[in-house]
Structure 1
Amino acid sequence: MTSIDDTLSEIRWLRNEIWRCRRLLGTGLPGAERELVEKRLHEQLSAFERLVSTAFPLALSSKVYSFKSTTIGRSDSSEAPIENAAMASSGCLEKSISG
């Protein structure tokens, strides 16, 4: 069984690799290299989501509280989905801590 430190280290490593791929995509890569980087980015994003959802199944699952989810409350602001996801996530965390 892996420790939480190992899991967090792997999450950080994946995050850094995702950032690196996104930086590379921002440059002028030729077609074949760009496709390889895009494929690698997709694989890393999938691995990141899978790892986060298994490490933090309720509180931090990106599938449950993504910014693409339905907004709660006011929706006239462009930041409303992000704010609402954060509020929903913190409410879920409070429930999981209190029992």
Structure 2
Amino acid sequence: MMTSIDDALSEIRSLRSEIWRCRRLLKTDLHGAERKAVENRLVEQLSAFERLLATAFPLTLSPKRYSAKSITIGQTDSPEAPIDNAAMASSSSFGKSMGG
């Protein structure tokens, strides 16, 4: 069954919100099993986000790949940074492919 772009964008927003939530939780005072569970959930959500982006927007404009595996948990203070960085990288790749 083919989903609409609106459905795909809605799911992307949902996953992004879940990623932000996990990152906020990791900034709190979690210990042991709780922290591990949130870290695992974050990795799952990042992977799902990457898969969804690949299926929703299958056109590849650059040979360079951006992977959830390459993102270090807690690497930045901003929960939006990896998502924004990936978007910026994609847009800069687009500009280069368009001769810009």
For normalisation by structure 1, the TM-score amounts to 0.66
Q: Is the 8 A contact 2:19 2:46 kept in 1?
A: yes
- Distance in structure 1 (CA, Å) of the matches to 2:61 and 2:19: 18
1:7/1:55 contact within 8 Å kept? yes
- Secondary structure of 2:39's counterpart equals helix
1:50 corresponds to which residue?
Answer: 51
Note the 1:34-45 alignment, pairs <5 A. 34-45=35-46
Distance in 1 (alpha carbons) for counterparts of 2:47 and 2:10: 17
1:64 aligns to 2:42 (yes or no): no
56 and 17 in structure 1: CA distance in 2 versus 1, 3 angstrom threshold: same
Unaligned runs of 5+ in 2: 71-84
Moved over 6 A (4+): none
Distance 1:26 1:38 in 2: 11
Q: Percent identity?
A: 62
1:47-90 deviation line (CA, Å, top 9, x unaligned): 000000111122588x835397xxxxxxxxxxxxx6x9342233
Whether the 8 Å contact between 2:61 and 2:93 is mirrored in structure 1 is no
Extract unaligned runs of 5+ from structure 1: 69-81
Q: Per chain length, whose mean CA-contact separation is higher, i.e. which structure has more relative contact order (CA < 8 Å, sep 6+)?
A: 2
Tell me the C-alpha RMSD between the 2 structures: 3.0
Provide the C-alpha distance between the structure 2 equivalents of 1:60 and 1:33, rounded to a whole number of angstroms.
Answer: 39
